Chains A and B, each alone.
Chain A
Amino acid sequence: MTQGELPGPGPDARQLPEGRRNEDGIRIDPEAEAEHPPERTVLSALVKHEPGVLAEISGLFSRRQFNIESLTVGATIDDDLARMTIVIEEPRPGIDQAKKQLEKRIPVVSVRELDDEAVQRELVILKVNGDRPDEVNAITDMYDGTTLDAGPRTITVQITGDEQKIDDAVDAYEQFGIRELVRTGYAALARGEAPTAQVKQPNKAPTESQVATTEADDD
């Protein structure tokens, strides 16, 4: 206790640091401020096939404000495991954070970020007006689609492919009047021999991406 000693220099008279961080807490050169434009990323997660896991993962993404584009989930060859394919659009620090938060949840066995080489497919089912069946059929052929149902008033088709192809196909069907459509979101696997997830060594220990120093991310 010092009985009200006079304080030192006020806020304006103090030494202040020169460097800066950006709003992601990244130290930057003030002359060349780092930008982190959102990137579209496909995450593949192997999770325990249990009730509530999807809610846990989707809840994690919503409460941490990760911008989720699509999320699909389904069984794997192992009855105890399910695979989730999650497409997010986030700046790089957000993507890394999403992966780490995902890995942290107890039912999550493995998380991997898939690169552009990965095999990625989405399915869309479209229901269009059926008054020009020949033209609909021609478009369906053009996009390697399949007719699932054809009646006097509606025709329902399915198209699979990447996002661009499906967007194009949807545009092409617009001319007939699309009554309804449903898209599944991406399902993806790593290409070639590379495993999409390390199932045999379930390990929560840090992956390379987690311990890598951050210079690489300062793009």
Chain B
Amino acid sequence: MSERASVPKEDEQDAEAAGAEAEAETDAEPPADGEREQEPEATGADAVVRALENAGVEYLFGVQGGAIMPVYDALYRSDEMTHVTMAHEQGAAHAADAYGIVTGDPGVCMATSGPGATNLVTGLADASMDSDPLVALTGQVPTDFVGNDAFQETDTIGVTQPITKYNTFADDSDAVGTDVGTAWALANDGRQGPTLVDLPKDVTQGETDAEPGLPETPDTYQPPERAEPENVATAAEVLADADRPVILAGGGVIKAEASEELREFATEHEVPVITTMPGTGAFPETHDLSLEIAGMHGTGYANLAVSLTDCLLAVGTRFDDRLTGDVRTFAPDADVIHVDIDPAEISKNIEADYPLLGDAAAVLDQLAEAMPASPDTDEWLEQCQTWKEEYPMDYETPEDDPLKPQYVVEKYDELTPADTVVAAGVGQHQMWAWQYWTWTEPRTWVTSHGLGTMGYAVPAAIGAKLAAPDREVVAFDGDGSFLMTGQELTVAVRENLNITIVVLNNEAVGMVRQWQDGFYEGRRMASEYPWVPQFDKLAEAYGAQGLRIESYDEVEETIQEAREYDGPSVIDAVIDPAENVYPMVPSGGNNARFALNEDHLEQL
């Protein structure tokens, strides 16, 4: 995916005319095959497009508009990239985000100024919370109008500052291509994240012959690569001496392509592995050492292990509160070895006794080399196994209806290959998909972890399918979540994407309803949706295949029908509205005191 387009030949005369500053920025490699000449009257917009081509971008997700039109016009002439017009800019951001998660390279989304840019905001905040690589390009009113409340003007830089890793206002046609390259490089390097370039119309329309080179990060940005050897040696000793060690694998393991290193390390030293929600797929749940997932809706055995461990090797996690619950009760007896590429994550939420700054793959390699011996974990593994038997992931399946959502997820998982990409919206359906799918591969779980963005699933499935056209893609969505961005189905139909969206339909924003029942004495204010459309019929209106499941005996057949259909399908799965998500650690609670049912909840 990251194969880069060759840098076009630089016209020496033009470069000379461009002045010293432009020259400094045209530090391009010599052309490999200089067949394409610089257009005689190239614009800033052409430079933007060239920068994206240089970065190897294949897909762009966006919506047209007045201020971004010059960039779209320049895209018209590009035959290296495909633009996917989304129904709404939020869809563009989520599709690009999912594309970035599945490929590992930044996804790119585009929007016009004002409302176009503000519609990207949710997607940017989402990518920021999950450290997803994403580049946003926004149109802006001409620089002369900036600050005058011009038509469709918003202070996009101001609005997006807290939710981007980096953003910049492009004020120079000669530099705009480099600005875009810098944004792409920063989105990708170190701890990944969203970046944004705001593109005033006069800057993209302005003539320039400055040629953007390959994406480069500023020289002030130097993320750590390998941890200090002395620190690694100390941490290795602590781990080797531990009686009850646990590896906690976060999303950073997947971002750093460190899954293989993790598997080797855990297996070699027989240390059980727990993943966070973003780390799902970093370690195969079919492995004996896997305790699956920890946190609010994690497995009982993972939560007990994380509570009672004496040495926690945490890799690439930011200790989100959905994982830790009350920090005072999180791994309270453990020496914490924290591997992270971002120094600011060290001791932000959970104090690290042994911080190891660096790339997860590199540091795991360093640790593997430094281990003086393997910890003696026989007894501990036996204990973990006992917990697995005591607290299996479980749900009741009465023979008759109503249908349990967990069954739909399990059945779908059974029927599909291991590398199937699963997208999910946010809510109960997301938790069931997470809990009852058997995860074995990285980059197969595409959802909104940190921000918890309802409506993520449908656009994410679109981005995921374009990122992995040869793999199966299924999205689990809730009725409430689907209603937020369901219009993106029109894109899936137009692009004829072979995806299935399973709406686990309980006519409610179920997670809210579950909390109202548990913590607000059942006052179901605004959480029940007795007016949802028939999602299969809605799908047909969009031109997709619409299917419906109401009972157990329809499940397998319907899933197969959806999988076999060449194009997008929506399965409206009418599920038991009374079903809730368990295990559950109440917000800010003690992970060891998870509830497996309502009775347990009352004891907490």
Chain A positions within 8 Å of B, measured between CB atoms, are 1-5, 7-12, 14-27, 51-52, 55-56, 59-60, 63, 93, 96-97, 100-101, 103-104, 106, 108-109, 202-206, 210-211, 213-214
Chain B residue contacts of A204, Cβ below 8 A: 220-223
Interface residues of B, count at CB 8 A: 69
A41→B292 CA distance, assembly (Å): 43
The answer to whether A210 touches B357 (Cβ under 8 A) is yes
Contact of A206 among B165, B169, B224 (CB under 8 A): B224
Chain A residue contacts of B407, Cβ below 8 A: 1
Interface digits, B365-398 against A, CB 8 Å rule (1 contact, 0 not)?
Answer: 0000000000000000000000101111011110
Among B26-34, B36-44, B155-163, B201-209, the stretch that binds chain A is: B155-163
The answer to whether A17 touches B308 (Cβ under 8 A) is yes
A10→B300 CA distance, assembly (Å): 11
26 contacting pairs across A/B (C-beta < 8 A): A7-B390, A7-B394, A8-B390, A10-B599, A10-B600, A11-B600, A14-B304, A16-B590, A17-B329, A17-B332, A17-B333, A17-B592, A21-B327, A21-B351, A26-B351, A27-B334, A103-B343, A106-B186, A106-B220, A108-B220, A204-B222, A206-B224, A210-B343, A210-B355, A210-B357, A211-B343
A12→B599 CA distance, assembly (Å): 12
Chain A residue contacts of B578, Cβ below 8 A: none
The answer to whether B597 touches A7 (Cβ under 8 A) is yes
Q: Report the minimum CB–CB distance from A109 to chain B (whole Å).
A: 6
Residue of B nearest to A110 (CB): B220
The verdict on B349 contacting chain A, using a C-beta distance below 8 Å, is yes
Chain A residue contacts of B219, Cβ below 8 A: 202
Contact of B593 among A14, A52, A214 (CB under 8 A): A14
Q: Report the minimum CB–CB distance from A32 to chain B (whole Å).
A: 15
The answer to whether B166 touches A25 (Cβ under 8 A) is no
A159→B329 CA distance, assembly (Å): 51
Q: Can you add 19 more A-B contacts, CB < 8 Å, to A25-B350, A106-B221?
A: A4-B395, A7-B300, A7-B390, A10-B599, A16-B592, A18-B332, A20-B328, A21-B328, A22-B328, A25-B351, A52-B158, A55-B161, A93-B351, A96-B347, A104-B344, A203-B220, A204-B223, A210-B343, A210-B355
The answer to whether B390 touches A211 (Cβ under 8 A) is no
Q: Give the 4 A-B CB pairs with smallest separation, nearest first.
A: A8-B390, A4-B396, A100-B344, A25-B350
Q: Report the minimum CB–CB distance from B32 to chain A (whole Å).
A: 31
The answer to whether A100 touches B329 (Cβ under 8 A) is no
The answer to whether B300 touches A2 (Cβ under 8 A) is no
Interface digits, B382-418 against A, CB 8 Å rule (1 contact, 0 not)?
Answer: 0000010111101111000000001100100000000
A198→B502 CA distance, assembly (Å): 55
Contact of B355 among A21, A104, A213 (CB under 8 A): A213
The answer to whether A19 touches B333 (Cβ under 8 A) is yes
A76→B354 CA distance, assembly (Å): 38
Which of the listed residues A12, A55, A63, A214 has the most CB atoms from chain B within 10 Å of its own CB? A214
A93→B347 CA distance, assembly (Å): 8
Chain B residue contacts of A213, Cβ below 8 A: 353-355
A155→B10 CA distance, assembly (Å): 66
The answer to whether A59 touches B220 (Cβ under 8 A) is no
Chain A residue contacts of B228, Cβ below 8 A: 211
Chain B residue contacts of A202, Cβ below 8 A: 219-220
A27→B336 CA distance, assembly (Å): 10
A26→B349 CA distance, assembly (Å): 9
The answer to whether A11 touches B593 (Cβ under 8 A) is yes
A19→B332 CA distance, assembly (Å): 5
Residue of B nearest to A60 (CB): B162
Chain A residue contacts of B350, Cβ below 8 A: 21, 25
The verdict on B307 contacting chain A, using a C-beta distance below 8 Å, is yes
Query: If the complex has contacts A3-B396, A205-B222, are A100 and B351 also in contact, measured as CB distance less than 8 A?
Result: no
